[in-house]
Structure 1
């Protein structure tokens, strides 16, 4: 009897809810395995990355599940929870940008990064009096990066509203998965294949650690897996899922490089220390910067 009720409950669950449960299960298992002392000692960075990814996923999935609570009389009265989550990311990201622009605040950030071994020692020839309440002069890259980040937050809110209105909830999850899994796929492919086929890095002056192999093979595998899941989560055809997934993966590379250029210009390794293994919120969502606004616009016009 218990098995029957469980079976009926599973059948009544929507595909996006099953995806959320499955994704959280897989990520939790991976993090649990990496938490084994021997593996944690051998792979400390990967462990921290998995932990940060798990924490962000928990926050996103909890907000998503709450936003999906259906009230037959009032529709989805808790959509604001997911919107509030995106706005909190936006506020935190704006704070990180402002901290980088402020020379005094940036000095404090650099000290934090250096204390954790994430930033090389930098000897400043500027007197302390100049650093207090002084801001860097904005240039074109600062404006482009800041505009891309604001566009991202607005696009996430618009995409959530569109998917709820059209009752195509899985599209939001598909976009997140296609963009974020690309980061992991690139990292793993870069570790396994980096500099074995191409001597030159992907963008050595902007991000020396990124390899062409990681970008090419990582985006390919990420797009393939996302396309399979997209066929399940979205109303798109197989080819359209693959095209969208690959577009999100490739644009994720450019978003990552845009943020890397922004950080290199300001002489910092990470935009924060909030997420161990990743850095700040901007370091975590950089792969969304370009692809999500473009996808949202196309989905709004042609979806």
Structure 2
């Protein structure tokens, strides 16, 4: 396996942190394990030569490749089920009461390959039932990786990642394919708007003009150091409606002294309502 020099590793760490907020300073073995064989197969003579290619590529293809290699996209349906229970029992009843325009504004901010956002869409479909036709319940789903966005749009999953789903949901919302995998039904696919977005970028003005009732940003801030994480949480706060909710992963935490979000319960926060 190709060895990375100290200078090359320092350069790669700086590139990933400056552009994406991802801190790889303690991940040297992971970097070599995930990039070494690829560099050899593509005939790069060094990590430095590869980083030159990444930084000089104007198409974005090399950046997408390095992101896909160095970030983990392990997820499954109904992950951290307490969030979905709280969404069904607390958040959706609240939203149906206060959203007078019958538009739910929900954002899955690190949607990975789609399991999270499709779980949300199925839950909303079941919650509203026949009343759903009166509502705009489409969910915004973003990720930095074009590769996983492509997988999410395809909506095809192996059965092992669906263990958290009931048989009723499997039969109602999925079509079983000839190879044994499952494809999410078109009706649920149509409920999700997928886009690429780098969470290190400023929030778009339209997000501030029409803020969200609920944002999921789970298991992505584990890559960030405290200043980067705090800055991101502050940006999220600015695009959540007063009274709206913000969910993070159970392995993550927010310093309660440094945020304007109210702590509700583990991994669930809320922007205070306007008085």
TM-score category of the 2 structures, normalised to the smaller one? under 0.3
Bigger share in strand: 2
Normalising by structure 1, report the TM-score: 0.25
Normalising by structure 2, report the TM-score: 0.27
